[in-house]
Structure 1
Amino acid sequence: MKKIVLVLGVSIIVILFFTIHQYKNPKVQESITYFPIDPKVSFKTAHTSITVNKSANTILWKEQSTLDRKAYLRQDAALLYANGRLIDELWNWKQNTAVIEQEKRIRMDKNVLLEAITFHHAELHENENQIFSSQAMSSDQTFFLSNTDDDENVKNQLKQQMERMLQLSWNKGLRHFSINLSNYQAFPLSEFNVLAKESLPGFTKEETSAIVGNLWEGLYKNYILGIKKAEGALENPKGSTLPLILIATDKTHLLVLTETALGEPILLRQMMAAGD
């Protein structure tokens, strides 16, 4: 991804993302809640794929994850972007299982660069007072070319057009909210998803896990289920731009910057308590 250019502007209200609470007896619901990571638990598989069926002008989008044991609650949340804009979401939750599987066949009618991003999560109850998490991430990227034979020029054009659109969108948001980019590490969500599998720059693996879990809790509640706007209204996330994740260099907070399908800049803010 090309370097993000900072442009300053007028500040307006920012939406607060969420705060982390631990519940003694949480109600089961279709949601993702971050709890401290249990190092004894791991995902045996965590996979996302996009398979192109050119003759039928369709793609098959799939995600699957298997924990090494049954969990009190399993949740997966998946996002699919075409040329940098959200075109679909998948999410599911089940109790007392290790496995989540989801798939969707989607018709394509134009050349696109597709990016699929999935967060796999498990909530584990050792007893009524101790709740832990396990999590993993997976992704896939491919081109759907309807009228060409894997033409490299078309692929390069699609990539350049997407990067240019995202740069303009993010710069518009930075301007809109008067964000000084020099105070942040900036990662498109697709890159953040890959980088955070190990550790983010300047953070330990444990701190990174906490940041990732907290981030996806907020993304699920405030983006996937509907973009929460400052006045309390909900906006359908479809058509929104790939979020830019901004991690404060002083490690106090992170920001999620996106733009709705109608071009409205949206900023979600999350206080960071890495390692909690």
Structure 2
Amino acid sequence: MKRFISLFILLFVFIVIVQVFERPARETIMFFPIDPTVRFTTAETKLSLQSQKKENNYVVDWIVTSSLDRTAYLRQDISLLFANGRLISTQSKWKENGKNLIQQKRLEQKGSRLFQAISYHQGELHNGNDIRSSQKMSGDTLYVIDSSFAPLQSFRKPTTNEQKTWANTLNKQTQTIVNKAANEMDKILKKDDYYHLYLPELVQYNEQPFMDLTTNETEVMVGNLWEGLYKNYFLGIKKQNGSIESPIGSTVPLILIKKDYSKLFVVTETADGEIVILKQLLEFTK
């Protein structure tokens, strides 16, 4: 009987060890040097409003799709959705030995809101010991008007006077929410020493280099920024007391980049009102 128990324990340990070694790669975002020969054929984030309400709520569809031009060792997409300046939901998906990813969420919401989504698409490519990556960002913006004074409607860019009025109102509401973090940083840093932008604005640097940087340097900065955002924001925000809090309810991250490109800061206000400042040293200086 003792021998049987010993064999059982050995078998159990062996199974556990095999499971540990055979477990697939953990979902993560790690930046590696860009492979200029690899590109994304598709990288899209789309927000749309369903025409019919569900009881008293409306439904927003949020779809994230991407396709690499070849099979990658690891394909990963993450996406964040903000409403009136605060994070309301995230999406994340990864696949080994793949090139295509698609994600979709349907969210019930109410009240007029400015929705802003931004996604980071990455492929990790292995060639022996040489590891490279390919990356792209995508995003979308959607104004949804849900008011007893107007029919349910949505638009990306206002065209009518009514839409312009609503857009102006929602933009001001959003700016009021995110201003607290910006005002706190004004007390700490010399504003003129930093470039500043909000996370959804980062998408424009898919196609153009950042101020005073080459295209390659911009890609390095963007890749390292997303690696840091994934670990220290997307997965949870570390507060001053050491606890980890969900990013849901936090404000749109403010990015401050020192003009000599030695470092950057990411600033957000958590759902319970604490200002959190993340610092990242850049891999190059100008």
TM-score range, shorter chain: 0.7 to 0.9
Work out the CA distance in 2 between the residues paired with 1:187 and 1:155: 20
Whether 2:254 is the aligned partner of 1:244: answer yes
Q: TM-score, normalised by structure 1?
A: 0.85
1:265-276 aligned within 5 A: 265-274=275-284
Q: Is the 8 A contact 1:173 1:265 kept in 2?
A: no
Q: Aligned residue for 1:30?
A: 27
| Partner of residue 196, structure 2 | 186
One-letter amino acid of the counterpart of residue 38, structure 2? V
Counterparts of residues 224-243 of structure 1 (less than 5 Å): 224-243=234-253
Paired residue secondary structure (1:97)? strand
Q: Deviations over 1:232-257 (max 9, x none)?
A: 32111011111111111121111101
In the other structure, the counterpart of 1:155 is 167
- 1:170 corresponds to which residue? 182
Which residue in 2 is equivalent to 1:96? 97
TM-score by structure 2 length?
0.82
Aligned residue among 202, 208, 222 for 1:212: 222
Tell me, yes or no, if the aligned pair for 2:46 and 2:139 is still in contact at 8 Å.
yes
* CA shift digits 1:107-134 (9 cap, x unpaired): 011110000100001110011x200010
Q: Give the conservation status (yes or no) of the 8 Å contact 1:136–1:197.
A: no
The amino acid across from 2:145 in the alignment is L
Shift of 1:194: 1.8
Q: How many residues end up aligned between the 2 structures?
A: 246
Partner of 2:170, secondary structure, is helix
Large movers: runs of 4+ above 6 Å: none
Match of 2:209 among 172, 194, 199: 199
Using the aligned pairs only, state the percent identity: 41
C-alpha displacement of 1:173: 4.1
Aligned partner of 1:84: which letter?
G
SS at match of 2:146: coil
Q: Which has the higher helix share?
A: 2
* DSSP-derived class of the 1:146 partner: strand
Alpha-carbon shift at residue 198 of structure 1 (Å) = 1.7
1:130 aligns with 2:139: no
Which residue does the alignment assign to 2:42?
A: 45
Greater RCO, 1 or 2 (C-alpha within 8 Å, sep 6+)? 1
Unaligned runs of 5+ in 2: 1-23, 154-161
In structure 1, C-alpha distance between the alignment counterparts of 2:133 and 2:90, rounded to whole Å: 23
2:201 maps to amino acid: E
Question: How many Å separate the matches in 2 of 1:47 and 1:192?
Answer: 15
Q: 2:141 maps to what in 1?
A: 141
Name the aligned partner's letter for residue 45 of structure 1: T
Question: What is the CA-CA distance between 1:63 and the residue it aligns to?
Answer: 0.4
Partner of 2:83: 82
Q: What are the within-5 Å matches in structure 2 for residues 60-79 of structure 1? A: 60-79=61-80
Report the AA paired with residue 123 of structure 1. Answer: E
Tell me, in whole angstroms, the C-alpha distance in 2 between the residues paired with 1:94 and 1:191: 27
SS at match of 2:171: helix
Which residue is 2:117 aligned to?
A: 116
Code of the residue aligned with 1:74 in structure 2: it is R
Report the equivalent of 1:3.
none
Once the two structures are superposed, what CA deviation does each residue of 1:130-151 show, in whole Å capped at 9, x if it has no partner? Answer: 0001000000001111232454
Instruction: Name which of structure 1's ranges 230-239 and 55-64 shifts more when overlaid on structure 2.
Output: 230-239
SS at match of 1:145: strand
Change (3 A) 1:169 1:270: closer
CA distance in 1, matches of 2:130, 2:240: 35
**C-alpha separation between the residues in 2 aligned to 1:169 and 1:246?**
11
**1:36 counterpart letter in structure 2:** P
Counterpart-to-counterpart distance in 1, 2:63 and 2:243: 31
Which letter does structure 1 place at the counterpart of 2:258? A
SS at match of 1:100: strand
Letter in 1 for 2:76: Q
Q: Deviations over 1:166-209 (max 9, x none)?
A: 2233213443xx12222111111111222354211111100000
CA distance in 1, matches of 2:264, 2:92: 24
